Chains A and B, each alone.
Chain A
Amino acid sequence: MKYKKFIFYLVVSSFLFSFISAVSYSVPSFCCERSKDGGICLNLEKEKCDLRYQTAPTSCEQTSFCKLGTCYDMKEGLCLENVPQKVCMEKNGSWSEKKPSELPQCQLGCCIIGEQAAFVSALRCKRLSTYYGIEMEYRKDVTSESDCILLANSQDIGACVTFKETGINECKLTTRKECGAKEGVISLNVNKSIAESETGKRFYPGILCSAPELNTECARQVKTGCYQGKVYWFDSCGNRENVYSSDREKSWNRGRIASPDEICERVSSNSKDCGNCDYLLGTTCTKWEGVFGIGKPTFGDYFCKKTTCKDLEGNTRLNGESWCVYDIEPGRGYEKVGSRHFRQICLDGEVITDPCEDYRNQICVHSGIPTTKGEFSTAACRPNRWADCLLQTRKKDCENIDKRDCIWTNKIEGLKLDPKNTQSNYLNPFNNPTSLSNFNNAQQAANIFQASQLFGGLTGRASVSLNNGLNVILSSGRGMWEPDFELLNKVTKFNKSEEEEGGICLPLIPPGNKFWEGQGSCSLASAVCDVTIKRIERYEGLLAGADAKKVYDYQIINSDGIEVESECLKWEGGKAPKGTSSKSYSLVPNPEWAIKANAICTSIGDCGANVNINNKYTDNGYIWRFRNSTFSLLGNIKKGLETKGTGYSILESEKILLNNNISIPLTNFVLTKPSENNYKIKKAEELRVGDVIVDSDGEEILILSISKSEIKNDKPFFRSLLEKIGGYQGERILGEGNSPVGLSLGEYGTGIKIMEKNNE
């Protein structure tokens, strides 16, 4: 038996344009003590340096004149990072090369001043104490800000009474520590004033200064005011009392301190009778500024005001709520070119849009804080952790949502990826050939990772403290958004793979890139599909002899010589020729393979054939070649139609004519609607009379007739379907967790709009 090997190449690559190599972008290579535009100690190109100042052909970290470190502001007690030594010294600061965490004066502790607490350095605490004229308590043993706040909240508060000979005593509502006096006891004999038995100063925990037993000069409930977002009564001495209620007796609570919830229920709408405002219910203490007494609180000038906004979908959002807005629903491994994530915030009745970093370098995540009136939505932009997806070789590493935002899917035949280069560039950006940079990759990666955690670890909250002692509590909108791998398995552009080996890890939210400048990672992906054809020569007939007929069987084989099916090429007619007398055979490139390859390209970045934010489809970033012919995903040969060889181009494949006016190549895909809210894609050749297809305008067309067609290039039906990717036609999608309407590329990465996730 004889066989011959024929090797064909089918190349699909996410090539960009020919000018890629010509494009160069700036790489900082000089340390400029001063830039021409006035910047201090910056790594720049030499031309940008102000030559009247010092420059060095290295990074600023290596120079003596622009060393960066921690600058300690001795006056304010602040530790400031990444400050040039010279700048710090000139302004009488104390400079160190060390990080704030390594400097004793920058160590954080709990600073308790009166009823307030701040997680700051000892000197900062001292400074704040001086400013407010209140004795400080500094606790080094408290190591987290949350503990510090708890400590402040757990302090004893009460009346600090200074007894006077006149019998009319002075009083201040304060903490036990600030009062610095022994605890006094209120006599059980209500007829006997405690002033008769006490002298000097005493602290009465849990008692208001207006309590009659204290015989103070402070008259109860003289005015109202704001404190920590709630409305409180204040006495004539200016001391805070209990939360405001128009039921004055209840609020006064016989002169005892009561928690706001004991006075009246938390307020979720404008209230003139209760001051127990709740930020998470959208109410906060506000000064009444109306006219003719409309809405005026029963007493005083302050009330709980509810402020709301309307989001793009017309939903009411509470003041302080934030939520995500997407151009396209995220998390499907697909984004339109130019799409971006946004965060919107309801602030004083105004919706503020906070765009996340462009090129999808940041993604918007959201979560909800449960309240009695439903969830309080909070959202944050955080880094898109896609950079090391391509490096992952195991499913569990790929889909480890604590570390990265990736999805695991099937590889396609012939796929070639070169992710390592990208990764090293990504993590080591200072590309200075003259530098002896001490750039620490691990540290950099740790910082980026830490930033990722801070700005929205996908689950739960992150709490991080800085030198100034501020606490960041981030959570994420209504319904936690996180990748739903179960859903992704059902509805995604990829066939999800369970295989540990043989799969490929791709970004969940593809990054964008300046492809028009040649930037990005598009060139990382290409696919070269090697197909080995085996021709088996045999003779047909009972005996080998003159009657015997020489025939050929053709097979596509793998490296072990075993017959296999190729993903990228198909036998014309669907079956391998067997017993044919012809020495030639016909193979056609498989559009399914090409579309899958394109799906991978679009996942890596703004690569391949894709639609942009204006729903315009272009395929300049995609070349699909077979022999000397180049094909388009839209079903037409684009260029290079020099030879047909023995292969067939799609152009030559048969077309069908639907209802005598729609012509589609048999191998193309169309969107069908088998039942209400149920969409599927089908190959045109699988269409039957009675099927309903959906055209680019969303119009449903019932197929009444199917006939063969050899019509020339026709209405770009499939192109128009591609343009429908996204379906929302420029409207933004609000991140609401599990939206009933999903968008996906469908199984093959082209424009499929699906209405119900379970049906795909």
Chain B
Amino acid sequence: MKKRAQLTLFIILGILIFFAIVFFLIYIRKSEMFITQEQNIEACFSNNLQREIKFLSFYAGLINPKFNYNYSGKIYPILCYTEEYLKPCVNQEPFLKDAFENSLKERIKEDFEKCFKDYADDLKKRGFDVEEGKISFDLKIEPEEVVVLINAPTIIKKGDQSSQIRKFSYRYKTRLYDVIMIATSLIQYETYYGDSEQMQQMFFYPNIKIIKTRTENGIKTYSIIEKEEDIEFNFAVRSYAFPPGGVI
């Protein structure tokens, strides 16, 4: 009886080991494929944009925001503020999309140049002559995408044949535009009414989750979360704050 139990155990273990090996092989293969894709310049752009969009969103698209509110260990840039009670907030960053574009451009500049350099190096390794010019970028946040316009005057030669790259664009799929516009809208509500109704926004944008927290002294923190892309856009406001007890 004891031996049969042991045998069963060994069989089960054998099956588990078999599946583990199969899983491991599949995983390794997938990783190798991924590494191959990584060589692609587009993948390089995409990874950098994804990382920087996430990073900047955390600070409302601002690099090192000075005017901020520290709450529960998080830094929330203050986008609309008044120190007074029962007064509308003063919009601190009216062109939020422009600010985000500028920050993103600044943050990805070096990474994009590196992507391009790696690409050129790869070509060189494969026996191409590559003449690289000065690379410049422009970037636009649009609905459903971030468009990066790249001016990279490059001549690629091999033997008698040559081809020239000048301007091209890279489109990165993201809902960042929606997130920024929702933030702009929440600030407009705060400026006018001193509050906002986040449920309505979440109803219209099912992929968006908005967490509003009323903290001390009338300061509210907002976190706009794009669930699929895992973007978290944080900011704080203070508008039409009520004095405790209603008397100033």
Contacts and interface: CB of A to CB of B under 8 A. Distances in A.
B182 to A, nearest CB: 9
A552 interface: no
Interface string B45-84: 0000000000000000000011110000000001011111
Contacts of A450: 193
Contact of B91 (A83, A229, A345, A429): A83
B83 A451 contact: no
Contact of B86 (A28, A71, A76, A444): A444
A514 B188 CA distance: 30
Contacts of A381: 195
A43 interface: yes
B248 A472 contact: no
B224 to A, nearest CB: 13
B183 to A, nearest CB: 11
B155 interface: no
A391 to B, nearest CB: 13
B199 A429 contact: no
Given A38-B68, A82-B191, A474-B197, 14 more contacts: A39-B78, A39-B92, A82-B91, A91-B98, A347-B202, A347-B209, A422-B246, A430-B84, A447-B192, A468-B188, A470-B200, A513-B247, A515-B245, A605-B245
A71 B199 contact: no
A577 interface: no
Contacts of A448: 86, 240
A742 interface: no
A545 B193 CA distance: 83
B142 A361 contact: no
B175 interface: no
Contact of A520 (B66, B195, B247): B247
Interface in A243-300: 279, 284
B168 interface: no
Contacts of A42: 81-83, 90
A135 interface: no
Contact of A468 (B66, B80, B184, B248): B184
Contact of A348 (B80, B193, B201, B209): B209
Contacts of A322: 199
B191 A81 contact: yes
The 7 nearest A-B residue pairs measured at CB: A513-B245, A38-B66, A520-B245, A361-B242, A38-B67, A359-B244, A514-B244
Q: Is the contact region of chain A dominated by helix, strand, or loop, or is it mixed? A: mixed
Contacts of B192: 81, 447, 466
B82 A81 contact: no
Contacts of B204: 470
Interface in B174-203: 181, 184-185, 187-189, 191-195, 197, 199-203
A431 B204 CA distance: 41
Interface stretch (A175-183, A350-358, A397-405, A731-739): A350-358
A378 B246 contact: no
Contacts of B82: 42-43
Given A425-B247, A448-B240, A81 B83 contact: no
Interface of B: 65-68, 78, 80-92, 94-95, 97-98, 142-143, 181, 184-185, 187-189, 191-195, 197, 199-204, 206, 209, 211-214, 216, 218, 227, 240, 242-248
A451 B244 contact: no
Given A43-B82, A91-B98, A468-B181, A511 B199 contact: no
A73 interface: yes
B177 to A, nearest CB: 8
Nearest to A466: B188
Interface in A98-151: 128, 131-132
A356 B201 contact: no
Interface size classification for chain A: 35 or more
Given A279-B203, A361-B244, A513-B247, A430 B181 contact: no
Contacts of B83: 26, 28, 42-44, 48
A547 to B, nearest CB: 67
A378 B199 CA distance: 9
B218 to A, nearest CB: 7
B70 to A, nearest CB: 11
A381 B213 CA distance: 12
Interface string A505-538: 0000001111100011100000000000000000
B245 A511 contact: yes
Interface in A378-407: 378, 380-381, 383, 386-387
Contacts of A345: 199
A447 B243 CA distance: 16
Given A448-B86, A514-B244, A37 B199 contact: no
A60 B90 contact: yes
A472 B242 contact: no
A41 B247 contact: no
B245 A80 contact: no
A131 B143 contact: yes
A370 to B, nearest CB: 18
A88 B188 CA distance: 15
A430 B84 CA distance: 7
A356 to B, nearest CB: 7
A400 to B, nearest CB: 19
A711 interface: no
A381 to B, nearest CB: 7
B188 A451 contact: no
Contacts of B142: 131
Nearest to A453: B193
B185 A470 contact: yes
B94 A28 contact: no
A347 B227 CA distance: 12
Contact of A39 (B67, B143, B181, B193): B67
12 contacts: A42-B82, A44-B83, A68-B90, A75-B98, A347-B202, A357-B214, A426-B246, A466-B185, A474-B197, A513-B247, A514-B245, A521-B247
